[in-house]
Amino acid sequence: MKRMQIGLIGCGTVGEGVARILLDQQEILKDRLGMEMVLKKVADTDTQRTRSVTFAEGVFTTDASEILEDPEIDVVVEMVGGTGFAKDAILKAMEQGKHVVTANKKLLALEGNSLFAKAFQKNVTIAYEASVGGCMPIIKTLRENLVANRIFAMTGILNGTCNYILTEITRLGLSFEEALEQAKIKGFAEADPTLDIEGCDAAHKLAIISAIAYGMEIDFEGVYVEGISRIEPLDILYADQFGYRIKLLAISKNHGDSIEARVHPAMIPVDCLLSQVGGSVNALSIFGDCTGEMMLYGHGAGMMPTASAVVADLADIARDMKREDGGRLPALGYPSKNIRKIPVLPISEIQTHYYFRISAADQPGVLSRVSGILAKYSISIMSVHQKERHASDAVPLVFMTHRAKEADVRKALGEIRELPEIGCDPVLIRIEDPQANGCAHT
């Protein structure tokens, strides 16, 4: 029976999960693939970590070059993360004619175009299913299952840390800081959660899947990013009263000659399935012209869910090796000659509905002045609500608008902020149209 020999670089949380599956599931993998998957070497500099796997003598090393320079190793699994050593290791592996599996969404979002070009040049595969959505087969779905579809839009919850925090604020009325601390205690947030709570992690993932969906180069710099650190329980309370939930959404829309790609908090109706995705779970709604609406749902992170996706990539490479058919599937789902540059619309050009909360002095004429400014910029008010005071003499004025252009909204809020009756910066939260974004309803 043919064997595929694997070198694993990085045996942290997910790397340990990969090793566990390869060692514990040997028989089922052999039965399904008709090939033996052999974990020949594992490299990690941390020799003090307690791991749930026991390696045979000579398998574990602190020197990654033992993997990269071993001619018998067919596939390198990169589980180090980051953009420094990980990039160098992947490039060296490809130079040696080795296939690569990675879950490194940051590296792919920033350097994926050049890495995929190198893989094509060397006739090797970079597999990266685990980089987006953990155990959810988002990459495979977009590249293979939806190959006959023009993708119109994708809307998703792609960061479990943010989803957990917003869920707990909604459920228990916690402050952002309290919910973040709880997420750290439960292991859903890193000691430094900046990449998660400021939206960068979700933006990395959105840049990757937008490229696959639309046949374009990865353009992380074009993705608008806004995190959840400014979301207050008061706005979550008002959203609930109006029939909405606040989620950190990753949104991508195909306009043909341009796309939208943005990550930010948004209000979505409570009868939208995405609004009911709670805790640390992820979900992605995809709208195709043939399939219509479909949704993927599952654990977007964690040792075993992510490791499962890594091993699925290894299985695909094994099947290709068995048929001597490497490079069967292009990295972004399109032949490299068909990958285009498609401009990403700046956030100023998008149009959607808006929620504003303005803290105003309780004086006659304030509402009319604010309404006049909104009218000046052609922003049509759908409803306005004067809410009860909260811990100050100021009165919260809450506006819900019809569709408006972001640039006009920013100008209007800039003028409103300068009114002497306005106590602090207005709060802006976008309201997403489920029909336009492909969000199914219950």
Domains of the chain: 3-134+303-338 (3.40.50.720), 138-299 (3.30.360.10), 347-433 (3.30.70.260)
Query: Mean pLDDT throughout 18-40?
Result: 95
> What's the whole-number mean pLDDT along residues 151-159?
96
Question: Is 190 marked as binding a ligand?
Answer: yes
**Gap between the Cα atoms of 359 and 392, Å rounded:** 10
Residue with tokens 């709604």: 285
pLDDT of residue 325: 62
Q: What is the pLDDT of residues 44-78, one digit of tens each?
A: 999 999 999 999 999 999 999 999 999 999 999 99
Q: Is 284 helix (H, G, I), strand (E, B) or coil?
A: strand
Contact 105, 132 (CB under 8 A): yes
CB distance 268 to 244 below 8 Å: yes
pLDDT at 392 over 90: no
Give me the sign of the Cα torsion angle 292, 298, 303, 309.
negative
Q: What is the pTM of this model?
A: 0.93
Residue 105 marked ligand-binding:
yes
For the four alpha carbons of 193, 199, 202 and 203, in that order, the dihedral sign comes to negative
Evaluate whether 13 touches 303 at the Cβ level (below 8 Å).
Answer: yes
pLDDT for 361 equals: 85
User: Contact 269/276 with Cβ under 8 angstroms?
Assistant: no
Instruction: Return the DSSP state at 55.
Output: P
Mean pLDDT along residues 155-172: 95
Residues annotated as catalytic (active site), given as ranges: 205
Q: Which residues partner with 100 through β-bridges?
A: 76, 126
Residue with the larger pLDDT of the pair 385 and 430: 430
- Residues 188-231 have pLDDT tens digits of 888 899 999 999 999 999 999 999 999 999 999 999 999 999 89
To 5 degrees, how large is the angle CA 21–CA 77–CA 189? Answer: 75
Q: Which of 355, 353, 424 is closest to 385 using CA atoms?
A: 355
- pLDDT for 264-311, tens place per residue? 999 999 999 999 999 999 999 999 999 999 999 999 888 999 999 999
